[in-house]
Amino acid sequence: MLLVDDHKIVRNGLKSLIENNQTLKVIGEAADGREAIKLCEKLRPNVVLMDIAMAGLNGVQATKQIVSIDSNIRVIALSMHSEKQFVLGMFKAGAYGYLLKDTSSEELIEAILSVARDQKYVSQKISDVLIDNISSNIAEKDGDILTPREIEVLQLIAEGNSSKEIGELLFLSPKTVDVHRTNIMHKLNLFNIPDLTKYAIKEGIISLNN
């Protein structure tokens, strides 16, 4: 399996817990969403344990791209966020499980083994109401307003990057980034950075705890 978290100490702890179970092995670690995508292309892990709130490319967008690379890869979100937009966002992206970071080691292993058997898993600490919302809202929610590329650009804008910096990260010209920025603003009817940032936080694209 692959571990994705922007804190090395967290990855080290998770690896130790996971490999105490002799049936599980960590074959790779990534510190951000882009690195996770590259490692999934190379290693094709069975299970990915994915943080959500990561700079540059969040766990939701990384999950979408990983599942599009190989639909057999099972992603489990491991997050401090229990809010509906994060949970729904991950399952809509193609995740198979969702755990909170204060979960027990026993539940972590149970979730990994369940997902590896192709069974979806939701943390016991997520409320019944939220689980009901997951069931009813995934099918009902309207299609995304923004394209995956526009969401990437929006995240980087909200994190304070300039058009030049975004272009370097995404291998785009600053002019192309500006076109994406304009399209985002018109689609959302938001025409300044503070309002775009508020929208990104509300939709779980970035987190105040990034």
pLDDT-based confidence at residue 132 (cuts at 50, 70, 90): low
- Outline which parts of the chain fall under CATH 1.10.10.10: 148-202
CB 77 within 8 A of CB 85: no
What CATH number is given for 148-202 in this structure?
Answer: 1.10.10.10
- Outline which parts of the chain fall under CATH 3.40.50.2300: 2-140
Between these two residues, 207 and 31, which has the higher pLDDT value?
31
pLDDT-based confidence at residue 108 (cuts at 50, 70, 90): very high
What CATH number is given for 2-140 in this structure?
Answer: 3.40.50.2300
Rg value, the chain, Cα: 17
For position 139, what pLDDT does the model report? 47
CB 36 within 8 A of CB 66: yes
- Using the predicted structure, report yes or no on whether residue 35 has a pLDDT greater than 80: yes
- Using the predicted structure, report yes or no on whether residue 138 has a pLDDT greater than 90: no
pLDDT-based confidence at residue 190 (cuts at 50, 70, 90): very high
Query: pTM for this one?
Result: 0.71
Mean pLDDT of the 60-84 span: 93
- Using the predicted structure, report yes or no on whether residue 143 has a pLDDT greater than 50: no
Which pLDDT tens digit goes with each residue over 146-164? 998 999 999 999 999 999 9
The per-residue pLDDT of the chain, averaged, comes to: 89
% of the chain surpassing 90 pLDDT: 71
Mean pLDDT of the 102-118 span: 93
Mean pLDDT of the 54-67 span: 93
Terminal Cα-to-Cα distance of the chain (whole angstroms): 24
Of 61-70, 131-140, 159-168, the range with the lowest mean pLDDT is 131-140
Q: What is the residue type of 208?
A: L
- Please name the helix (run of DSSP H) or strand (run of DSSP E) that holds residue 173, with its range, or none: none
For position 141, what pLDDT does the model report? 47
Q: How far apart are CA 195 and CA 185, in angstroms?
A: 10
- Joined tokens for residue 179: 């076109």
Strand blocks (E) in the chain: 2-4, 28-30, 47-50, 74-79, 97-100, 121-122
Between these two residues, 171 and 130, which has the higher pLDDT value?
171
- Using the predicted structure, report yes or no on whether residue 134 has a pLDDT greater than 60: no
For position 16, what pLDDT does the model report? 95
Counting Cβ atoms within 10 Å, is residue 164 exposed (0-12), middle (13-18) or buried (19+)? exposed
